[in-house]
């Protein structure tokens, strides 16, 4: 059974997709989607030997070796042109790593811009949105969910003609999440508020106060206050 987190990621994969799941670990997501015939083909990419082997085992155990290919590769290097991938999932990593994987994939030509991107950063979501904005992607949907005492965000993006100009606040909170302000979102930002207040107090006790960092946190705290109150 898929976690709720991966279920939400999978829900954003288009029906019949040719999927690349990067950092696939056990290949749970592509296997689950293939078993319900949501996707027609998948590549699982893993850069670490251990997870690569567990992905291979899972695919074999599920009898899906004809339809799911597992490759040991760094980021989008797992994708070949002949795969005709039209959806990419990158889940369960930091936002900076996700943005780096996308940037390298663009530079190396594995990312064509025609794929739907479904991204689930564990932290650093703003870095993902900044990269998408810089590259002319439009965020077409966002989700936030709580599972096992953790809160996860899912960002879905496509490259379209339409330009999307996100405000600084939208980059920080997520344009859809900010518009909706659901209970999970409010919970997340109340927790962040407490954490940032502690960081700020620590910084202000330092011998040499890092003024820039303090100002940045104060700005974020004022945004958060506005949003949660
Ligand atoms: N995607 C799965 C999920 O969301 O449950 C697994 C997440 S797991 C925490 C992150 C995986 O990404 C690890 O197995 C790690 O080896 C892999 N990974 C990290 N950097 C990677 C890269 N540059 N290319 C491919 N895989 C990578």
Distance 22 CA to ligand 1 centre (A): 7
Number of residues written out for the chain: 229
CA of 193 to the centre of ligand 1 (A): 29
Question: Is 43 close to ligand 1, i.e. is its CB under 6 Å away?
Answer: no
Answer whether 24 contacts ligand 1 (Cβ < 6 A).
yes
Is the ipTM higher than 0.90? The answer is: yes
The residues, ordered by sequence, that sit 6+ positions from 162 with a Cβ below 8 Å of its Cβ are 138
> pTM for this structure?
0.97
Q: How far is the CA of 124 from the centre of ligand 1 (A)?
A: 16
CA 50 to CA 82: how far, in whole Å? 27
Q: Cβ(101) to ligand 1 under 6 A?
A: yes
Give the up-direction half-sphere exposure of residue 138: CA atoms within 13 A in the CB hemisphere: 9
Residue with tokens 């829900």: 11
Best CA proximity match to 87, nearest among 175, 22, 4, 144: 22
DSSP state of 83: G
Task: Please give the chain's pLDDT, 229 residues, in tens.
Answer: 899 999 999 999 999 999 999 999 999 999 999 999 999 999 999 999 999 999 999 999 999 999 999 999 999 999 999 999 999 999 999 999 999 999 999 999 999 999 999 999 999 999 999 999 999 999 999 999 999 999 999 999 999 888 789 999 999 999 999 999 999 999 999 999 999 999 999 999 989 999 999 999 999 999 999 999 8
CA distance 8 to 29: 10
Cβ-based neighbours of 102, under 8 Å, separated by 6 or more = 76, 90, 111, 117, 131, 135
**Cα angle value 25/58/151 (rounded, 5°):** 40
Given a contact cutoff of 8 angstroms between Cβ atoms, the answer to whether 54 and 84 are in contact is no
């Amino acid at each position: 059974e898929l976690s709720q987190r991966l279920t939400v990621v999978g829900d954003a994969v288009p029906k019949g997709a040719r999927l690349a799941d990067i950092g696939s670990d056990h290949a749970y997501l592509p296997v689950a989607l293939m078993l319900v015939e949501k996707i027609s083909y998948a590549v699982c990419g893993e850069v670490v030997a251990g997870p690569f082997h567990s992905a291979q085992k899972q695919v074999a155990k599920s009898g899906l070796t004809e339809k799911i290919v597992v490759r040991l590769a760094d980021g989008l290097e797992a994708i070949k042109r002949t795969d005709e991938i039209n959806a990419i999932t990158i889940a369960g990593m930091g936002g900076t790593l996700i943005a780096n994987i996308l940037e390298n994939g663009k530079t190396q030509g594995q990312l064509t811009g025609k794929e739907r991107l479904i991204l689930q950063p564990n932290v650093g979501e703003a870095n993902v949105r900044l990269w998408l904005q810089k590259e002319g992607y439009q965020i077409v949907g966002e989700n936030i969910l709580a599972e096992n005492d953790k809160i996860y965000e899912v960002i879905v993006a496509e490259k379209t003609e339409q330009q999307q100009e996100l405000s600084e606040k939208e980059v920080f909170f997520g344009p859809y999440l900010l518009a909706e302000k659901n209970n999970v979102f409010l919970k997340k930002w109340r927790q962040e508020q407490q954490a940032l207040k502690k960081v700020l107090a620590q910084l202000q006790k330092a011998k040499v106060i890092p003024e820039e960092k303090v100002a940045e946190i104060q700005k974020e705290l004022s945004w958060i206050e506005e949003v949660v109150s």
